[in-house]
Structure 1
């Protein structure tokens, strides 16, 4: 299952980049994230690893992810190492009128889940779409000076 959402933020791309790629900020703005911890010697950049849990329904799910693409200040992508099969990406682009278009992409799957896996993916998608929309709204508020999070 793949989810993609975007928002326009009134902040320069390098400022947005520094904020979204700093693991210390993730629990602050990522709605539904219950854990985002550095797992290794690198805290940012290509090869950085994080233990991540997202609250979906009544469960915390996730695993270990690794940054597999790092192109400042525009693209960062990760892929799962263990746990739920997932891939994510932050994509930042300058807007003609100033500010930044922030796009968040997330793809996940339940390996070998058959029919029950398909059902689980679709049920989780409802929560994830809502959580990722709130994540982008939280990001916008944080970067534009409003600390009231959704």
Structure 2
């Protein structure tokens, strides 16, 4: 099953990227995700490395345990980041568990007098490999809920990033006013002492 959702965010790609690429922020943005845990080197069954010692915590090659609530179950995979091109593309694929591929795609939009804007596309392809008819049926039953999670994720991302951008712009305006007031105060000559 392949699902794609998109929206426009009133912020530059760098601001959106910060929310989709930071593992600490993923649970705040992605609806339905119950786990997004960095997986560091550790031993798997039989003493083999479940996650290579060379796997970074963030970026290309990073691995995460990702679980999504679908109905009453949490389903997911060990995923690996296979594309990490700041601030435009982040993609992952499953290593174990449910077969899945996901992608965040961020593209700047031309300035139209309203400030920077970013087109955000979120894609998720998933399947139950080798499960035949029952796997296909499970995919079809899960599709509306997974699609809803993706749409909710985009709405939350838009709210969060635009709120953060509003706060950042307000802080810049306050700093500029304070600097202007300080400069104006410094430009006023001191009054001569009386008498």
TM-score > 0.5 by shorter chain: yes
The 5 Å alignment of 1:52-131 reads: 52-97=66-111, 98-131=116-149
Larger Cα-atom Rg: 2
1:11 is matched with which residue? 11
More helix by share: 2
Q: How does 1:18-33 map to 2 (within 5 A)?
A: 18-33=18-33
- Which residue is equivalent to 2:153? 135
Structure 1 residue ranges, 4+ long, deviating more than 6 angstroms after superposition = none
Distance 2:82 2:16 in 1: 19
Number of aligned residue pairs: 146
Root-mean-square deviation over aligned CA pairs: 1.1
* CA distance in structure 1 between the aligned counterparts of 2:127 and 2:120, rounded to whole angstroms: 24
| Bigger relative contact order (CA 8 A; separation at least 6) | 1
Structure 1 position 3, deviation (Å): 0.4
- Deviations along 1:88-118, one digit per CA (max 9) or x if unpaired, are 0000000113310110010011111111111
Structure 1 portions without partners, runs of 5+: none
8 Å contact from structure 2 (residues 88, 105) kept in 1: yes
Shift of 1:43: 2.3
Aligned with 1:145: secondary structure? helix
Flag structure 2 segments of 5+ consecutive residues without an equivalent: 41-54, 165-195
- Normalised to the residue count of structure 1, the TM-score between the two structures is 0.94
In structure 2, what is the Cα distance between the partners aligned to 1:3 and 1:63?
Answer: 18
Look up the SS of the partner of 1:130 in the other structure.
Answer: helix
